[in-house]
Every structure is written in C-alpha cells, then in structure tokens.
C-alpha cells in the first residue's frame, strides 16, 4: 500500500482522538514557552550567563540537550494511539477491510517519523529565534555551524517513540504501557546505571545511549571562547562534562537498537491478537 494512503488512514484516526490533540498541544506549548522561560531564567543567575548558550552556534547544542526529555510526550502519544487501537478493535476492523498486519505497523512507523520531523522542525525554529535575539554577531556560517545536531535529535525522537510503540504492542493496556515506559526511563535504567557505574557497559543501555545523542553543551569550550582564552583546558581535569561513547558510536548504537526493536515489533504484530 502506498505511503500516502497509510498516512491518510492514520490521519483520520488520530485527528478524532482527543488525547492525541492534548499531548501534541502540550508538546508544542512546552517548546514555545521555552522562548520566554529560558531568557527569564538567565536573569536569576548572576554568575553564569545562560545567554551564552542562546547564541549561535551554541544554541543548537543547548536546545537539543534541554528539550530531549520532551520526547517522552511524543512516546506517550504513540503508546496511547497504539493501545487505543487494541481496546477499540480498530486494528481488527482494518484487517477485516483488507489491510495487512504489517501495514498496520507501517502506519505507526510512518507516524513516528512524521512526529519526529515535526519535533525537529520546532526545535530548529526555536533555536533560530533564540539565536537571532541573543547573538552579537550573525553570519550564515555562524548560524548554521552546529545545526547538524538536529540530526541526532531526530534519531533520538524516533527511538523514544519506537520504544514506546514496542511496549504498547507488547502490553496492549494503555495505563500499564505508560507506567512501563516511564518506569523504564526514569527508574529501571537509572538504577542499572548506578549499579554498573564503574563498568563501561553502562553507556550501552538503550535510554542512556539515546540521551547521549544530545549531550550537555561543552561549557568549558564556551567559557574559553567567551574569555578569548588561547590556553586549552583539559576537560578530564574538570568533572563537568558527561563521559561516554563518542557521538558516532552512540548514533550507530541507537540506530542498531531502533532497527532491532522495529524487527521485533513486526514479529509481535504478526503473532499478536488484535483485540
């Protein structure tokens, strides 16, 4: 079936689903409020100026880092939409009318990519607006210098939602799926990270690897640039920046996780009862 037809079918379902509208609205409002709230926070900090993080090219790192938890809302949207199709027998009805099980899952994957694209565009526009209003110097090269960081953010958004989709397919119940996702994100993995804090394996946990796609901005480099200092500071001597895998390794790791989860999601969809 054509992608356009899958999108059209999904659009008809989600536009009439009020929880989808509420959660997506909350996500957009949270992003927009950031334009107002972040500069206000800066005025409450007399020593460290957050304005430095709002300027090009550092605003790209700051925005992708600080808005990474917002992707939890997108994952909840996917969970609620998917489990709702089980409880309302929508999946089963679509199969009766000729849609294949894999096409049902393809609908959700297309939706995930569209939501991730929307999120990335919103973060990009917000970053540009903050950068334009706080930067002393604006040139095309400076504006787009770190804009590539939107690509790891896009992958991070997709992975959050794919994990949410997998949990929803596995459990089918909305409340239990949401609790499982949030519990895994905020409790299970952090506890495992502490247990294995002396082991390198802690950086290979799926949620940890995903968050490391959008790491904390390099505060040392920003400070050096602001002070016009030519003397390099060894980051290892100052325990501020998070350690972990190189970005390229994180990208490969997270892409691998996403691929594996999608594979098993198709396997589950092939065997799962649709009601």
Average pLDDT over residues 231-260: 75
Give the CA angle between residues 1, 258, 69 to the nearest 5°. 110
The answer, as to whether pTM is greater than 0.85, is yes
Task: Enumerate long-range contacts of 170-178, CB under 8 Å, 24 or more apart.
Answer: 170/268, 171/83, 172/83, 172/86, 172/87, 172/272, 173/83, 174/79, 174/80, 174/83, 174/84, 174/87, 177/79, 177/82, 177/83, 178/76, 178/79, 178/80
Rounded Cα gap, residues 274 and 263, in angstroms: 18
Please state at what angle helix 247-271 crosses helix 150-171, rounded to 10 degrees. Answer: 30
What's the total number of domains in the chain?
1
Burial class (CB in 10 A: 0-12, 13-18, 19+), 76: buried
The answer to whether residues 25 and 85 touch, using CB atoms and an 8 Å cutoff, is: no
The answer to whether residues 165 and 79 touch, using CB atoms and an 8 Å cutoff, is: yes
Domain that residue 257 falls in: 3-271
Backbone angles phi, psi at 258, to 5 degrees: -60, -40
Q: Name which of 81-85, 142-146, 232-236, 254-258 the model is least confident about.
A: 232-236
Of residues 222, 218, 211, the one with CA closest to residue 240: 218
What one-character DSSP code corresponds to residue 185? I
Rounded Cα gap, residues 217 and 62, in angstroms: 6
Burial class (CB in 10 A: 0-12, 13-18, 19+), 145: middle
Q: Where does residue 34 fall: left (phi above 0), alpha (psi -120 to 50 degrees), or beta otherwise?
A: alpha
pLDDT tens per residue, range 59-105: 999 999 999 999 999 999 999 999 999 988 888 888 887 888 899 99
Predicted confidence at residue 237, as pLDDT, reads 44
pLDDT tens per residue, range 159-215: 999 999 999 999 999 999 999 999 999 999 999 999 998 888 999 999 999 999 999
Average pLDDT over residues 143-157: 95
Predicted confidence at residue 267, as pLDDT, reads 94
């Amino acid at each position: 079936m054509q992608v356009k037809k899958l999108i059209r079918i999904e659009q008809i379902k989600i536009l009439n689903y009020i929880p989808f509208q509420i959660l997506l609205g909350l996500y957009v409002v949270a992003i927009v409020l950031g334009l107002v709230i972040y500069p206000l926070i800066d005025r409450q900090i007399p020593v460290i100026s957050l304005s430095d993080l709002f300027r090009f090219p550092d605003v790209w790192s700051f925005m992708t880092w600080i808005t990474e938890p917002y992707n939890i809302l997108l994952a909840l949207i996917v969970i609620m939409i998917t489990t709702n199709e089980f409880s309302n027998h929508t999946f089963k009805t679509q199969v009766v009318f000729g849609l294949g099980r894999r096409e049902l899952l393809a609908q959700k994957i297309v939706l995930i990519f569209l939501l991730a694209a929307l999120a990335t565009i919103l973060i990009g526009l917000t970053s540009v607006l903050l950068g334009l209003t706080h930067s002393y110097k604006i040139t095309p090269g400076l504006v787009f210098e770190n804009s590539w960081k939107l690509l790891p953010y896009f992958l991070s958004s997709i992975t959050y939602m794919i994990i949410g989709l997998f949990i929803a397919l596995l459990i089918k119940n909305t409340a239990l799926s949401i609790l499982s996702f949030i519990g895994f994100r905020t409790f299970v993995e952090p506890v495992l990270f502490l247990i294995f804090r002396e082991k390198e394996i802690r950086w290979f946990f799926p949620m940890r690897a995903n968050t490391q796609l959008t790491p904390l901005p390099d505060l040392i480099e920003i400070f050096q640039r602001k002070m016009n200092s030519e003397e390099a500071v060894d980051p290892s001597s100052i325990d501020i920046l998070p350690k972990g895998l190189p970005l390229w390794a994180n990208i490969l790791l997270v892409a691998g996780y996403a691929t594996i989860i999608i594979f098993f999601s198709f396997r589950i969809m092939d065997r799962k009862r649709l009601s």
